[in-house]
Amino acid sequence: MRTLLIFLGCIGLASGQALRLEQTIPLPGVRGRIDHLSIDVKRQRLFVAALGNDTVEVVDLKQGKRLHTITGLQEPQGTLYVPATDRLYVANAKDGTLRIYDGSSWQLLKTVEFGEDADNVRYDAGQDRVYVGYASGALGAVDRAGNKVADIKLDAHPESFQLEKNGPRIFVNLPGSRKVAVIDRNRGSVIASWGTDGAFSNFPMALDEAHHRLFIVCRLPARVLIFNTDTGKV
């Protein structure tokens, strides 16, 4: 059985205090590794990619319990809920598919083939597209109808990536090549690459667009790199 630990972060961040555990939610019958999460803020639902269990667990955060289980998946890694369309996107590593579900009935609406290792998923509200990182080096995109509309080649498997809201750039972690790729999504190509300053295994990423800062977390050594997004310098 796996358990979700929910931390109260807003008060801690505002006051400078440490995060504190607010709630523990058990997931009976769920075994193996848990991967990415996505949230439906309005309805207070959390979508959990239970990769080792081949399921997505839908958790009701108000009631503190599991609401639904989506089965029949193939090593789900990325989850993305888009409230504007009430759609849930699930990227599967084993069969390389992006599966699109109705966010209320859980009906499978469409399956999009990406070949292999579909992973992180992000929404581009400006272009109304969903991007998915996959294979040994690519970002693919689908439109609202689930049709493929873009494919951007990279030189290593993409891990976490973040999109600018007020600009055309996508920042992509490429731990396999020890760098961050910068994509212009209007051109559909890489326009810059930034090295990780001797650190390896750059997986998590967060973007502070207002202050022109990109935060990269590396595992070897354990280090946070802060890039200036105007210059690409650490």
Structure-token pair, residue 103:
């966010």
Report pLDDT digits (tens) over 33-90. 999 999 999 999 999 999 999 999 999 999 999 999 999 999 999 999 999 999 999 9
Q: Where do the domains of the chain lie? A: 34-153, 159-234
Selection from 74, 84, 152, 55 nearest residue 116 by Cα: 74
pLDDT at 11: 42
Pairing state between β 55-60 and 45-50: antiparallel
- For tokens 């009631």, name the residue: 63
Q: Which helix (H) or strand (E) holds 227?
A: strand 223-228
Local structure of residue 166 (DSSP, 8 states) = S
The 3-class secondary structure across 65-128, one letter per residue, is EEEEEECCCCCEEEEEEECCCCEEEEEECCCCEEEEEECCCCCEEEEEECCCCCCCEEEECCCC
Query: Percent of the chain, pLDDT > 90?
Result: 90
C-alpha span between 88 and 79 (Å, rounded): 7
pLDDT at 91: 99
Q: Which helix (H) or strand (E) holds 11?
A: helix 10-15
Q: Write out the CATH class of domain 34-153.
A: mainly beta
Angle at 43 between CA 128 and CA 50, to 5 degrees: 80
pTM over 0.95: no
The string of DSSP codes covering 182-211 is EEETTTTEEEEEEE-TT-EEEEEEEEETTT
On average, the pLDDT of the chain sits at 94
